[in-house]
Amino acid sequence: MRVLMYLVSYLCSTAGLIIAFCYVLRSGKIIKGMLIGYGLSIVCVFLVSVVFPGILAGYDKEYSLCFPEAIAVPAIIFTGWLSSSIVVVIAGLIRYFVARFWSHSK
């Protein structure tokens, strides 16, 4: 059960990065994509680390202990920009190379 909860929390924290990746692929705006990914990562980790365990604690204390601790929120606030910037730069490079080589192939 504990592994499943950590998997869900990891997927929730990367949900913002997936949205930022798709945004940059479609629009090409890297700075705004990085801010979107960073902000959504903070919101998702806050939900998984603070809100969901608080709701579950009202029903069953055992399941609320399976979620990651709230210490993940400050960690994402201080280091979340790095993962967001890496994802956005990769998306920007993919967009650049596809646009450059797609037009040459026609």
Place 27 in a pLDDT band, splitting at 50, 70 and 90. confident
Residue 60: predicted pLDDT: 74
Place 45 in a pLDDT band, splitting at 50, 70 and 90. confident
The pTM (predicted TM-score) of the whole model is: 0.73
Residue 64: predicted pLDDT: 65
Whole-number Å distance between alpha carbons of 78 and 9: 18
Whole-number Å distance between alpha carbons of 91 and 17: 11
- For residue 93 the two structure tokens come to 């490079």
Q: Residue 1: is its pLDDT beyond 60?
A: no
Residue 58: predicted pLDDT: 79
